[in-house]
Amino acid sequence: MENRPPPLTGLTVIDLGQVYQGPYAGLLMAKAGANVIKVEPRHGEPLRAREAVGGGASLPLAMLNSNKRAVTLNLKSPRGVELLRALARKADVLLENFAPGVMDKLGVGASVLMADNPRLIYASATGYGLSGPERDNLAMDITIQAASGAISVTGFADGPPVKAGPAIADFLSGTHLYGAIVTALYERERTGRGRMIEVAMIETMFPTLASNLGMIHNNPDRSLGRTGNRHGGLAVSPYNVYACKDGWFAIICTNEEHWRSLCSAMGRPELADDPRFATNAVRVTHMEETDAVVEAWATGLTRAQIFSATGAHRVPSAPVRDLREVLDNEHMKTRGMLEEIDHPRLGRITVPGSPLRYHGTAQIPSTPSAGIGQDNVEVYGELLGLTAQEVEALRTEGAI
């Protein structure tokens, strides 16, 4: 088997990311072999404050910042600004997810850093983008879910709008940021020039609404209400989460072969030719009856029994797992997506590997996230040639 180096080996990334969005892009780069340097203010990035809460509140920090080296830097001091400019001259990528204009006000915006280093990829992630009438709106995952329309279509028709449980806006935009960075790096290989790139959280959410938007296009007068666990455009049936003896189970039939197979799995092959259910179009018309048939079957079975039946007949389906079941999932562990490490502050924890797999290259094992400024001496010495005494002097004067 090949043993090629990770694809981003040799790249240096200055990661000024905070909370989830920017740090996730940095994590994907670190797990692809880049030398990622996490830069934080002297008091640490906002996620550090959760460590004071105790328990698992600081776990996200550990999950998103493994395999990075950590330095501190005070960008409100002239010397701190000089240091960031010096670091950026040595870097291939700088990523940040501050509010629009913050880096410019500090004197380290894209125009300054790219003038210093024309090969630099300057990556900016914001809530609403660097332009437009809503540019300066405050953005967090829940507010972007709200403003993008995602919350309006989540939940059940007879209940209030509900946010998605996971931080989908943060991580979608972090993933898009990574994609934009590596695209710009590919261009640089051909042109030798860097580029400024940006990703707006609200824009990464819009494509996820495809099914719901289809309802507007096809039925302009139809209510755009919430559909619960049914298809967002109410265009596929069965498509739902059904109650069973020990929890819940998701089943979807996207074509007639799936439906016929489900009928066989349920021991009701005659339903395949029932005029109420013979095609997806009529099943959508008789959605309540379709769901009632499937749930009547599922209610008397366990998740394992349902999965055995649907699996044997190749029906797309899955048990609704709780998070403890996910953490124990053998498939995720076997593929290396769930890694257990010993963390100096949190003890034994599970952190994510990278969903991006590079065949011919072994996965990079996760390392514990660094403490605030843990690598100041090493990084400033390596990149800027500063001695340990000079680094200590910078710390004393408040520059780092």
130, 122, 110: which is closest to 185 by C-alpha?
122
C-alpha to C-alpha distance for 312 and 264, rounded to whole angstroms: 10
The Cα angle at residue 356 between residues 383 and 358, in degrees rounded to 5: 80
At 239, phi and psi to the nearest 5? -160, 95
CA–centroid distance for 92 within its chain: 23
Instruction: Give residue for tokens 């349920």.
Output: 266
DSSP H helices in the chain: 21-30, 59-64, 78-90, 102-106, 110-116, 141-148, 168-191, 201-205, 210-218, 256-265, 280-285, 287-299, 303-312, 323-327, 330-334, 376-384, 388-397
Give the 3-state secondary structure of residue 346: coil
Q: How far is CA 189 from the centre of its chain?
A: 27
Other C-beta atoms within 10 Å of 225: how many? 15
Active site (catalytic) residues: 231
Query: Rounded CA gap, 44 and 377, in Å?
Result: 17
CA distance 54 to 354: 27
Question: 3-state class of 41 per DSSP?
Answer: coil
Q: Which DSSP category does 199 fall into?
A: E
Burial of 237 (0-12, 13-18, 19+ CB in 10 A): buried
Helix (H, G, I), strand (E, B) or coil at 315: coil
Residue environment code for 143-180, b if the CB has 16+ CB neighbours within 10 A, otherwise e: bbbebbbbbbbbbeeeeeebbeeebbbbbbbbbbbbeb
What token pair was written down for 221? 């007068």
Residue whose C-alpha is closest to residue 20's, from 136, 209, 187, 168: 168
